């Protein structure tokens, strides 16, 4: 066996590594020479600043250091001499009397008061941002109210059609169904009947194109299934959709059992099967349907307010708004074209019982009616130029209302998350956000969404996003700040107190008005047909002084105008008199 031995040596002990090249290179090792250091001047420090321009002057300035000293004295029981026991009341009283009798006592106090007052005023200065109460939470600063446009979903067709209805899908609101239809039915033949379902994240291309045989006026998602929808058609029929099967409608109601006017209101209702909904139109009928059998309605209610039992369709008043609150079951609300809001009950035995509760809400057609999601006894009605808040406990008058707007209102909804906020759409393209806990005379935020009229509003279930439809066929997705979407700690209690207070106030006013009307009716009966001047004066006394003053001013203005007209006629006759 051959014996081997390996010598191990570190790389650092081999010396410098050789690099072979064809260049002539000479490496020298120059040792330091201390004698050469005398030829150089050492600079300390060696830091030098440079400027991009010429330096005209160099100087340094330093202020005198201010020295501060805090001194003070803490007196529990005044400054007493050493020979006086402060705990002995007799000694302290005797010493006070001695000092007060001194001749320099008053003079000394006058000298001590100004500096003492100065020190006291300094001690009274406090930090307004300091937190003194550590066991309570500090109040949050007032947040700025703002709104921004997130996306715009435009009608791809060249001929733009107004947006008539918007519905959010129940799967966290990832899609919106938008129906398009021209309200000018004379030109309806030139318009396409297509409506769209949009993905919220993709405003460039519709998710689904719905292709009915006539335009859609309403399109509503099933609250339990994001693939099923119902719609109201311009022919008065209702239709059923399932986007998993086809982009065309699955089934539609028969013409002879449908509405006589275009069906512009459809809403799903609570049912065990989840297939029932109801519809309304301007023909004055409310119909309940089941998607499993659309050939005929389950029930029909004619809104005949004169003689409800007869159900005469010729006397029916058109339904312009429809509302259903899932938490109340069989109760529903509808707004009519004559300004009346009806709170109905489907389980009523007769039509009169179903249309029992009535509110004279607006002067024109009721555009929108919606219950507050939290306070279901209170509802919002929108029509003509005002929005009003009502309580079911007060039927004669609303408890709160907005000032008259300069343009017509087109829609109104409550915020689904914040109790006191509601939104109003206007005919000039402006969206107003109202917060009852902040102010009741003006909106807290007014946004100019577009130059065209707004047609409908639908907020997302989380409250931060609001979809707004316009007359030019576009849907604008708006995002609101937290101040309009998140409730504060005491918002519910404050709004409860506000609504209760306003309800009690209206009840007192209603009672006074009923008493006044009863008095006037009694006086008229007592006076008979031969009421003298004293009786008329008593009737005037029962009137509101402001109404009496307005009547007098109106009568005076009429008499003045008649006198002016008579003077002008006499002057014209005198000018036309012929003198031979």
Peptide bond into 45 cis (omega under 30): yes
d(C-alpha 289, C-alpha 291), whole Å: 7
For 487-526, give the DSSP string: --TTHHHHHHHHHHHHHHHHHHHHHHHHHHHHHHHHHHHH
Contact (CB, 8 A) for 370 and 383:
no
Total domains in the fold of the chain: 1
93 found inside a domain: no
| Average pLDDT score over the chain | 81
CA–CA distance, 318 with 284 (Å, rounded to integer)? 4
CA dihedral 205, 210, 214, 218 (to 10 degrees): -90
pLDDT in tens, 504-537: 888 888 888 888 888 888 877 766 555 555 555 5
Give domain status of residue 561, yes or no: no
Burial class, 332, CB count within 10 angstroms (exposed 0-12 / middle 13-18 / buried 19+): buried
Residue 64 has pLDDT above 80, yes or no: no
Please say whether the beta carbons of 274 and 225 come within 8 A. Answer: yes
**DSSP string for 338-360:** TSEEEEEETT-SSHHHHT-EEEE
Amino acid 332: pLDDT: 85
The CATH number of the domain where 230 resides is what? 2.130.10.10
State residue 468's pLDDT score: 92
Q: Report whether pLDDT(568) > 50.
A: yes
Domain that holds residue 413: 147-508
Reported as a pLDDT band with limits 50, 70 and 90, residue 539 is low
pLDDT of residue 192: 79
With respect to residue 196, please indicate whether it lies within any of the assigned structural domains. Answer: yes
pLDDT at 56 over 80: no
Q: What confidence score (pLDDT) does residue 41 get?
A: 77
- Identify whether the C-beta of residue 459 lies closer than 8 Å to the C-beta of residue 468: no
The answer to whether position 545 is within a domain reads: no
Pair of tokens at residue 395:
């039927």
For residue 373, is it within any domain?
Answer: yes
Residue 102 phi, psi (nearest 5):
-65, 145
Residue 580: predicted pLDDT: 42
* Within-domain flag for 354: yes
State the average pLDDT over residues 226-250: 87
- Which tokens is 384 given? 């003509």
End-to-end Cα, the chain, rounded Å: 171
Global confidence as pTM? 0.64
Other Cβ atoms less than 10 A from the Cβ of 280: the count is 29
Among residues of the chain, what percentage have pLDDT more than 90? 1
What is the per-residue pLDDT across 385-432, written as a single tens digit (0 to 9) for each?
888 898 888 877 888 888 888 888 888 998 888 888 999 998 888 999
Q: Is residue 363 one of the residues assigned to a domain?
A: yes
CA 579 – CA 195 distance, rounded (Å): 79
Confidence of residue 542 (pLDDT cuts 50, 70, 90): low
Binned at pLDDT 50, 70 and 90, residue 544 comes out as low
Q: Is the pLDDT of residue 578 over 70?
A: no
- On the CB side of 376, how many CA atoms lie within 13 Å of its CA? 11
Distances (CA, A) of 30 to 9, 18, 27, 41, 42: 29, 20, 10, 22, 22
Whether 159 maps to a domain, the answer reads: yes
pLDDT at 579 over 50: no
**Looking at 255-318, which runs of residues are DSSP E strands?**
263-268, 276-281, 285-290, 299-302
Structure tokens at 46: 């060696």
Between the alpha carbon of residue 232 and those of residues 223, 306, 346, 454, the distances in Å are 17, 28, 21, 20
pLDDT at residue 247, rounded to an integer: 83
* Mean pLDDT of all residues in 168-197: 78
Q: What is the mean pLDDT of residues 294-306?
A: 84
Q: Show the CA angle centred on residue 572, arms to residues 566 and 577, nearest 5°.
A: 125
Q: 141 vs 382, which has greater pLDDT? A: 382
H helix intervals, 417-490: none
């Amino acid at each position: 066996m051959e014996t081997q031995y390996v010598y191990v040596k570190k790389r650092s002990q081999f010396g410098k590594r050789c690099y072979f090249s064809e260049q002539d290179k000479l490496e020298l090792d120059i040792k330091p020479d201390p004698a050469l250091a005398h030829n150089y001047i050492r600079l300390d420090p060696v830091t030098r600043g440079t400027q991009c321009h010429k330096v005209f002057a160099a100087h340094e300035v330093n202020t005198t250091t201010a020295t501060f000293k805090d001194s003070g004295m803490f007196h529990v029981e005044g400054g007493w001499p050493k020979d006086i026991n402060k705990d002995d009341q007799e000694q302290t009283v005797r010493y006070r009397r001695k000092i007060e009798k001194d001749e320099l006592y008053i003079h000394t106090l006058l000298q001590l008061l100004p500096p003492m007052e100065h020190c006291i005023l300094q001690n009274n200065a406090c930090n307004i941002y300091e937190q003194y109460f550590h066991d309570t939470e500090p109040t949050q600063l007032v947040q700025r109210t703002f709104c921004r446009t997130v996306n715009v979903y435009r009608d791809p067709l060249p001929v733009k059609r107004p947006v008539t209805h918007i519905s959010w899908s129940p799967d966290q609101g990832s899609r919106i169904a938008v129906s398009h239809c021209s309200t000018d039915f004379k030109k309806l033949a030139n318009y396409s009947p297509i409506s769209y379902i949009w993905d919220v994240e993709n405003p460039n291309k519709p998710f689904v194109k719905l292709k009915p045989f006539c335009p859609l006026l309403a399109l509503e998602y099933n609250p339990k299934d994001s693939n099923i929808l119902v719609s109201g058609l311009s022919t008065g029929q209702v239709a059923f959709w399932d986007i998993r099967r086809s982009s065309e409608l699955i089934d539609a109601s028969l013409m002879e059992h449908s509405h006589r006017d275009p069906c512009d209101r459809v809403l799903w209702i609570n049912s065990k099967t989840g297939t029932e909904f109801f519809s309304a139109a301007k023909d004055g009928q409310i119909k309940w349907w089941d998607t499993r059998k659309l050939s005929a309605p389950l029930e029909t209610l004619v809104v005949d307010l004169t003689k409800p039992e007869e159900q005469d369709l010729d006397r029916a008043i058109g339904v312009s708004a429809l509302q259903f609150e899932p938490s109340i079951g069989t109760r529903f609300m509808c707004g009519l074209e004559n300004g009346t809001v009806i709170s109905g009950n489907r389980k009523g035995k007769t039509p009169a019982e179903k249309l029992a509760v009535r509110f004279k809400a607006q002067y024109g057609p009721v555009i929108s009616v919606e219950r507050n999601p939290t306070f279901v006894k209170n509802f919002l009605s929108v029509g003509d130029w005002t929005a009003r808040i009502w309580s079911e406990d007060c039927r004669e008058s609303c408890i709160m209302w907005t000032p008259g707007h300069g343009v017509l209102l087109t829609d109104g909804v409550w915020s689904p998350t914040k109790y006191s906020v509601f939104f109003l759409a206007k005919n000039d393209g402006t969206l107003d956000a109202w917060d009852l806990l902040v102010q009741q005379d003006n909106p807290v935020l007014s946004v100019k969404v577009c130059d065209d009229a707004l047609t409908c509003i639908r907020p997302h279930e989380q409250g931060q996003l609001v979809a707004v439809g316009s007359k030019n066929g576009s849907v604008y997705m708006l995002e609101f700040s937290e101040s309009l979407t998140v409730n504060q700690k005491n918002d519910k209690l404050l709004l409860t107190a506000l609504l209760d207070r306003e309800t009690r106030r209206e009840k007192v006013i209603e009672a006074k008005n009923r008493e006044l009307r009863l008095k006037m009716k009694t006086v008229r009966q007592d006076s008979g047909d031969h009421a003298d001047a004293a009786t008329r004066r008593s009737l005037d006394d029962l009137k509101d002084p402001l109404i009496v003053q307005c009547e007098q001013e109106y009568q005076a203005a009429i008499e003045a105008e008649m006198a002016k007209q008579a003077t002008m006629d006499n002057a014209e006759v005198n000018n036309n008199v012929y003198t031979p």
